[in-house]
Chains A and B, each alone.
Chain A
Amino acid sequence: MEVGNIIMYFVIALAIIVFSVLTVTTRKILRSATYLLFVLFATALLYFQLDYEFLGAVQIAVYAGGIVVLFVFSILLTHKPGEKSDAIATHRRWLGLSASLLGVGACGYALFSQEGFCTKLLEETKSLDIAQIGNFLLSSDKYGYLLPFEAVSVLLLACIIGGVVIARRR
């Protein structure tokens, strides 16, 4: 494995860790959304590094381009700019901190006790091109995804109708 790849990995991992901690600790909600955007970009870079180009592009287009914009719009509609949220109550903070640290500790112990995970290396594969992805998505064979594809399209239709019904002025 070349050095550039390793440096890239450390940049991505550091960005993910730092910005996800900042997302939940900052008290200004608009900054929180901005840090979320950085986390999502770092995730897209991680997908590119693992040779899933299409998935990285989808991540940028849907998450960074769609969801974060929705978040920013709804934050600007419901908050005064520059407004700080109240400080978190102490018992609430301890509850959240202990729950998340317990979960991370248990999962981390499980991960580090698996010896295979520490030695498993990346195998060379050729990445999937767009034509193959399209064939997989629209085939009904053993490894085809026609049914979930159609189910997602129905779900998105339901989402559009639900959005219109909720946002309609009564």
Chain B
Amino acid sequence: MDLTLLMYLVPSLIMFGCGVYGFLTRKNMIAIMISLELMLNSVDINFVVFNRYLFPLSNEGMFFTLFAIAIAAAETALALAIIINVFRALKNVDITEINKLKF
């Protein structure tokens, strides 16, 4: 038995499905961010696996993942700052309760 390209794509696909499920069902803003991280991570895996298997002599997928990780870190930091600020104003992080843009 050998490790084929498909065998690396299946866990990544399931991880993305879990991310979609969590993103649609959760009501807590932090839980939604965690689901978003799952989806971003599965896309990163796809970039690396396709790069390694289909184009082993070039490195585009690896560098793209490197930049994607940096951008995901920046995005998460800002989103969590916004969530904490919303909590300070409304004492709540439930998206169904937060329906005003200005308070």
Contacts and interface: CB of A to CB of B under 8 A. Distances in A.
Interface residues of A, number: 77
Contacts of A63: 37, 41, 69, 72-73
Interface in B1-49: 1-28, 30-31, 33-35, 37-38, 41, 44-45, 48-49
Contacts of A85: 26-28, 31
Given A23-B38, A46-B8, A112-B6, A120 B54 contact: yes
B87 A77 contact: yes
Contacts of A88: 25-27
Contacts of B38: 20, 23-24, 36, 39
B34 A71 contact: yes
B93 A62 contact: no
Contacts, number: 213
Q: Is the interface of B mostly helix, strand, loop or mixed?
A: helix
11 contacts: A6-B1, A24-B25, A32-B31, A46-B45, A62-B73, A104-B16, A111-B6, A116-B5, A117-B5, A120-B6, A125-B56
Given A20-B15, A23-B34, A78-B87, A13 B54 contact: no
Interface size classification for chain B: 35 or more
Nearest to A111: B9
Contact of A99 (B14, B24, B35, B53): B24
B57 interface: yes
Interface string A33-45: 1001001100100
A33 to B, nearest CB: 6
Interface in A25-60: 29, 32-33, 36, 39-40, 43, 46-47, 50-52, 55, 58-59
A23 B18 contact: yes
Interface of B: 1-28, 30-31, 33-35, 37-38, 41, 44-45, 48-49, 52-54, 56-60, 62-63, 65-67, 69-74, 76-78, 80-85, 87, 93
Contacts of B30: 29, 71, 74-75, 78
A24 B63 contact: no
A96 B23 CA distance: 8
A40 B41 contact: yes
Contacts of A6: 1, 3
A152 B24 contact: no
A32 B34 contact: yes
A41 to B, nearest CB: 11
A118 B2 CA distance: 10
A155 B74 contact: yes
